[in-house]
């Protein structure tokens, strides 16, 4: 999948593509999903800074925009963070609200099943080959080990389904090191492999693991000594 970055001369069109994906995803879901996505779209279209990837808005302001109470805001923002659609860039302190970010790549991954509802031209435009974070780096392709059991097995299946090429290049070589104190340890085949995943792919990896088991809140990548 091509990562859409709403910058440059075609920024406006790319923003519409992202919002269209969210709309199609919502319409294909139930009423709860539709409401949640609509509320996020309201934040994006009114207060989101696309260039800086920043959303700075207090719960009281959000409640007023959504026409709900602050308890509903806390609940739905927690759901959006759990999905990985919203991230905390800077935690609020001393009366200042948190600076939030929106993971557009995660949103496009999750909405992809609904893209055909928009049209073949849309799928062709946004569904190309994904660009790995650093194109100057040539990833080492590792043979896939035996299918893992348990949590990592489920997370591997999710990552493979999202992007087979990226999975083959980077995630397939990770070996399950077990779960302890809410943290999944994964063993990388080399230091370079571990460093690249920590730098470029940790967010995607953590989302997959949390969706498979919400109790596991952290992922650690270990490299050979």
Q: Could you give the domains of the chain? A: 11-110 (1.10.10.10), 150-222 (3.30.300.180)
Is the distance from CB of 57 to CB of 43 less than 8 angstroms? yes
For residue 10, what pLDDT band results from cuts at 50, 70 and 90?
confident
The residue among 22, 69, 82 whose CA lies nearest residue 48 is 22
Q: Indicate if the pLDDT at residue 7 is higher than 90.
A: no
Residue 187, pLDDT score: 93
pLDDT above 50 for 140: no
Positive or negative CA dihedral for 59, 60, 64, 68? positive
The answer to whether residues 69 and 63 touch, using CB atoms and an 8 Å cutoff, is: yes
Mean pLDDT of all residues in 29-57: 94
- Interaxial angle between packed helices 31-47 and 11-27, expressed in degrees from 0 to 180 and rounded to the nearest 10: 160
What span, in angstroms and rounded, lies between the C-alpha atoms of 213 and 162? 18
- Share the mean pLDDT of the chain: 85
> E strands, the chain, where?
55-56, 86-90, 99-102, 175-180, 183-187, 218-222
Helix (H, G, I), strand (E, B) or coil at 89: strand
Mean pLDDT of 112-132: 78
Backbone angles phi, psi at 45, to 5 degrees: -75, -20
pLDDT level of residue 127 (50, 70, 90 thresholds): confident
Least confident residue range of 68-72, 108-112, 117-121, 142-146: 142-146
- Confidence category of residue 74, pLDDT binned at 50, 70, 90: very high
Give, as one character, the DSSP assignment of residue 49: B
SS3 55: strand
pLDDT at position 117: 93
The predicted model gives 171-176 an average pLDDT of 90
pLDDT-above-90 percentage for the chain: 45
How much is the average pLDDT of 175-198? 90
181: left (phi over 0), alpha (psi -120 to 50) or beta: left
Please, which pLDDT band fits residue 161 given cuts at 50, 70 and 90? Answer: confident
User: What does the pLDDT average to over 123-127?
Assistant: 84
């Amino acid at each position: 999948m091509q990562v859409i970055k709403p910058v440059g001369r075609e920024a406006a069109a790319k923003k519409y593509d992202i919002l269209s994906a969210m709309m199609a995803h919502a319409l294909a879901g139930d009423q709860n999903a539709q409401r949640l996505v609509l509320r996020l779209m309201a934040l994006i279209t009114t207060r989101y800074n696309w260039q800086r990837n920043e959303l700075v808005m207090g719960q009281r302001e959000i409640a007023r925009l959504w026409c709900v109470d602050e308890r509903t805001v806390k609940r739905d923002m927690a759901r959006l963070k759990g999905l990985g659609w919203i991230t905390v860039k800077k935690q609020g302190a001393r009366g200042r609200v948190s600076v939030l970010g929106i993971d557009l790549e995660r949103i496009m991954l999750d909405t992809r099943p609904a893209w055909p509802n928009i049209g073949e031209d849309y799928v062709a435009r946004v569904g190309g080959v994904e660009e790995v974070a650093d194109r100057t780096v040539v990833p080492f392709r590792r043979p896939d080990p035996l299918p893992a059991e348990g949590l990592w097995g489920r997370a591997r299946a999710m990552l493979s389904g999202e992007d087979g090429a990226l999975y083959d290049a980077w995630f397939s070589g990770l070996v399950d090191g077990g779960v302890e104190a809410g943290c999944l340890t994964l063993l990388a085949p080399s230091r370079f492999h571990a460093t690249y995943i920590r730098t470029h792919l940790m967010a995607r990896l953590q989302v997959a693991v949390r969706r498979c088991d919400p109790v596991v809140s952290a992922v650690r990548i270990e490299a050979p000594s």
